Amino acid sequence: MENKMFCFQCEQTAGCKGCMGAAGVCGKKADTAELQDCLTGALIGLARAVKGNEDSIFADTDRMVLEGLFATLTNVNFDNESLNSLIHRVDAEKKRLISLCRECDTVRGKISDYDMGKLWAANEDVRSLKALILFGIRGMAAYAYHAAVLGYVDQEVNKFFYKALFVIGMEDWGMEELLPIVIEVGKVNLTCMALLDRANTETYGNPVPTEVSLAVEKGPFIVISGHDLYDLKQLLEQTEGKGINIYTHGEMLPAHGYPQLKKYSHLKGNFGTAWQNQQKEFSDIPAPILFTTNCLMPPKKSYADRVFTTAGVRYPELTHIGEEKDFSPVIEKALELGGYQKDMAFTGINGGGKVMTGFAHNTVLSVAGQVIEAVKTGAIKHFFLVGGCDGARSGRNYYTEFVKQTPEDSIVLTLACGKYRFNDLDLGTINGLPRIMDMGQCNDAYSAIKVAMALAEAFKCEVNALPLSIVLSWYEQKAVCILLTLLYLGIQDIRLGPSLPAFLSPNVLKFLIEKYHIAPINTPETDMAAMLA
């Protein structure tokens, strides 16, 4: 394989243009990137074989598409062997579908896999729109996967993956045809986030406000990272009564708010901050770490023997826990390492020793009357939604500074791992309501949307007319599908940072600015003044 790659799907892409050398900034090697392209091309081939053949799809076919897309998300799968095996599975399924399709005889030659090189070399506007579709469905696939694990599927969502993949392979489509599909990704992702919300809340209960300690008690413990609540539940069950404590990390923090998870007394707290700090935070940790989804960074030698993966996450030579979810190797490692000898006090990046979570739609809407009253009396003058991914770029302290500068009569709603920039700040309360409310993981953008819509209804106005400002931080493809959902809903004036996606061509960006008034973040002071004006 050539020692060259092309990937520009995440915010840390080299030179804000694209990773094109022997490895990406994330550590993904060129051969792995090529396999991910082959996998995507094979999925497009599968979508071509599905067209006109929809009745022959099995639930397994849908699941394979989710797994295939999820494997190409940033910081999920670095393992060539498992990517090759996914490609073979997709190929076999494509052959099965073609063999069942009578009309396929005439088009058999046309049902080939797609060469992703054509996409990367396409006209920049076509490439930009197809990238928005592809990266959007990659993020959405992760959400659909988590819902499916809990037994929740939606045919509208499943069918759309084939449609979107098919469209990416269309050679002669231009902006006019592609733009509506870009927005449709946002529409279907809203359904998908609602599905995952239902899966999580019907399985584990509606999150309730919960204080989470950042300290770690002495004795054996396990750190669990990622978004998959099912994996956490299995781990909690398997460690119960074994003298091992469980600490969440990164996007797993909101799990503390779910009644069916928080009932376990050995779910103690949260370790560390957001994903980009893991190589530092895990360097001397006397405990194993289990990754259930993104964001896994290439583990350093100092702690690689303690990192375990499960679900779609893979890294060569790390122990992978399979579908049977037998976490014994992780448990044995925790007992072997023994944890800290004494209680350890850790803090967030601003020095706070605890954080709050659990302010999903059910909780916030249960105090809607109080919130509306506070707006009417002027106690609350503005809402900010400051959410999205964290990342390594230094400009990301914008989000800390921005939240620090929010006026005392404003509420900050937040979600996803970007909140670690400010969730340990004590901003006080307004009429008993905390000024920072963590609504959950990135997919809980669904909660923010529900709350914004309820407020708009209460004040008999459109969401865009609410005293609400949205400041997003993006890093990977889940942020892309969420942004597309906000655009589908017609939300305007979103501030996006820390930098604009490399895959937005000047024309596509111009369209987004003209139609939705999207703007890159400026300085906290300038943006705050503009938002409050």
DSSP codes of every residue in 404-456: HTS-TTEEEEEESGGGGGTTT----EETTEESEEE--SGGGHHHHHHHHHHHH
Site for ligand SF4 contains 9 (CB under 6 A): yes
Written as six digits, the tokens of 271 are 């370790």
Q: Minimum CB separation from ligand SF3 for residue 172, in Å?
A: 34
Residue 416 interaction partner, one of ligand SF3, ligand SF4, none, beta carbon < 5-8 Å per kind: ligand SF3
Q: Minimum CB separation from ligand SF3 for residue 40, in Å?
A: 20
Residue 49's contacts (CB-CB under 8 Å, 6 or more residues apart) are 94, 97, 98, 101, 104, 111
212 in Cβ contact with 357 (< 8 Å): yes
Site for ligand SF3 contains 152 (CB under 6 A): no
Reference 227, options 245, 198, 253, 204; nearest CA is 253
DSSP reduced 3-state for 65: helix
Site for ligand SF4 contains 315 (CB under 6 A): no
- Among 49, 66, 417, 528, which residue interacts with ligand SF3 (rule: CB under 6 A)? 417
C-alpha 128/C-alpha 132 separation (Å) is 6
DSSP reduced 3-state for 223: strand
- Among 251, 424, 444, 527, which residue interacts with ligand SF3 (rule: CB under 6 A)? 251
Site for ligand SF3 contains 478 (CB under 6 A): yes
Site for ligand SF4 contains 270 (CB under 6 A): no
Task: Tell me, residue by residue from 435 to 454, as one string, x for binding to ligand SF3 by CB under 6 A and - for no binding.
Answer: ------xx------------
From 41-49, 282-290, 341-349, 476-484, span contacting ligand SF3 (CB under 6 A): 476-484
Laid out side by side, the sheet with 436-438 consists of 436-438, 410-415, 382-388, 468-473, 495-497, 519-520
C-alpha 162/C-alpha 54 separation (Å) is 10
Measured in residues, the chain has a length of 533
- Among 40, 53, 61, 74, which residue interacts with ligand SF4 (rule: CB under 6 A)? 74
Site for ligand SF4 contains 293 (CB under 6 A): no
Site for ligand SF4 contains 10 (CB under 6 A): yes
From 22-30, 99-107, 401-409, 485-493, span contacting ligand SF4 (CB under 6 A): 22-30
Residue 26 interaction partner, one of ligand SF4, ligand SF3, none, beta carbon < 5-8 Å per kind: ligand SF4
Residues that bind ligand SF4 (CB under 6 A): 7-10, 12-13, 19, 24-26, 28, 74
Residues that bind ligand SF3 (CB under 6 A): 227, 250-251, 275, 294-295, 389, 416-417, 441-442, 475-476, 478-479
